[in-house]
A = this chain, B = another copy of it.
Amino acid sequence: MTWTFSAAAPVIDESGASRLAARSDRSGWAPDGTPRGVVVAHDIAEVQQTLAFASEHGFPVVTRGAGSGLAGGASAGEGAIVLDLSRLDRIVSIDPVDAVAHVQPGVSAAALDAAAAEYGLRYAPDPGSFSTSTIGGNIATNAGGNRAATTGSTRDAVLALDVVLADGSLVQLGRETVRGVVGLDLVSLVVGSEGTLGAVVGATLRLTPRPVGSAVAAATFADAEAGAEASAALALAGLRPVSIELIDGRTLEAIDALRGSALSQGAGAYLLVRAEGRGAEAEIAEVAAVLAQTAIEVETTGDDERARELASVRRDALAAIEARGPAIIEDVAVPRSRLAEAIRGIDEISESLGVDVHVLAHAGDGGIHPVLRLDDDGPASQLDAARTIDAILELALRLGGTVSAEHGVGALKRRWARIELGDSVVELQRRVQAAFDPNGILNPGKAL
């Protein structure tokens, strides 16, 4: 099909390579067909022109950042215009008294955090894709991270957004102040909307002081269930360390295979607890006392170098699993009180369906990343994986949890999102979405 922009419109890259690259994201999932072309926007006016043009012609628009999403949210198919905002990558300003940053959407969290560090500040959200994903993508998915239970997810950091609506108009949502209650909270609505309400072209983000002091405890347990129960014991003791990461025995074996270490000998789980602030060492001492009641071994440290070594087990976990073959990272959450039960259930599913499932968990708030390891990429393996994922999502809902803790619904979890939300809430959400995008051109077939 031949199509043209008006003279004032931005340049479209219609090359086969660009269009092909925009068909998928890190999930590997791609819809049928290829997009019409890719607009690499260099300013807000180009974003407005693109959306006005798409509205006029009824073309779907898929907004894209780094393409690091894990749910197919930015995958673009037949007939779509891909709106690439990765070149809008400036940190516009940082105010050290207000502890507020103004950024364009193509900046990475890591780049913002590094700039904030010059003022003794940090950008708190720490998704696994911290260095590669863009703030725009983090906003689209309300990205979390290891610390999210205590320092907040992306939504908690966003004060205001500049958003181009489907018709090409620009609106400013939110405010520059931390406090404020005027009007409906459309900022929180756009955060996590996975590109279905508008294109975010600017964000006002809250920064926080870099913590004074930190300390770490690492403990081994007989199995992951025991680690999960220890995490619940920390909660009951009134302890809320900044992060509690749980790694199961299967993952320890993968790390041992990668590193030649012996973590999995005599241990079936690893729990990594981090505290921050002036009272970090005192807090970690209390943490260690609780963990020691059921752990095989507990080590604590206030030394940064040793803390980094202890944390490397978590940092290397995914790479270690992926080194053994094709892997799929899943993402659910259950109430903290059900975490041990969820892990037991995942083990049972793994055994009964014959698919290796490794478990990494943000144990402080019940977030679980089951990682499926497949024998190969063939259709039989894919079918086994699909069955395993369905069983895990069903388990998460049965335990009062959610089918996506932080990666998003994207294209891959729409059926399950509908089950989780129920028809009447989905219907309400659609009406709200239509208030922003009456013709449904923004990322159709995703999220809702």
Chain B residues, Cβ within 8 Å of A235 = 96-99
Binary contact readout A231-250 vs B (1 if CB under 8 angstroms, 0 otherwise)? 01001101110000000000
Chain B residues, Cβ within 8 Å of A149 = 178-179
Most buried by B among A155, A172, A400, A428: A428
Contact indicator B193/A184 (Cβ below 8 Å) = yes
Contact indicator A404/B283 (Cβ below 8 Å) = no
- Which residue of the partner chain, among B156, B280, B402, contacts A180 with CB atoms under 8 Å? B402
Binary contact readout A412-448 vs B (1 if CB under 8 angstroms, 0 otherwise)? 0100010011101110110111111000000000011
Chain B residues, Cβ within 8 Å of A176 = 335, 400-401
Known: A432-B435, A435-B428. A366 touches B178 (CB 8 A): yes
A48 interfacial contact with B, CB 8 Å: no
Size of A's binding interface in residues, CB under 8 A: 93
A136 → B minimal CB distance (Å): 15
> CA of A379 to CA of B157 in the docked complex: distance in angstroms?
45
Closest to A155 in B: B185
A52 → B minimal CB distance (Å): 15
Binary contact readout A166-191 vs B (1 if CB under 8 angstroms, 0 otherwise)? 00010111011111111111101101
> CA of A335 to CA of B183 in the docked complex: distance in angstroms?
18
A120 interfacial contact with B, CB 8 Å: yes
A37 interfacial contact with B, CB 8 Å: no
A337 interfacial contact with B, CB 8 Å: yes
In A319-349, the 8 Å CB interface with B consists of: 333-337
Q: Which of A's residues lie within 8 Å of B, judged by CB?
A: 95-100, 120-121, 141-142, 144, 148-149, 153, 155-156, 165, 169, 171-173, 175-186, 188-189, 191-193, 197, 208-210, 212-213, 232, 235-236, 238-240, 277-280, 282-283, 333-337, 362, 365-367, 400-409, 413, 417, 420-422, 424-426, 428-429, 431-436, 447-448
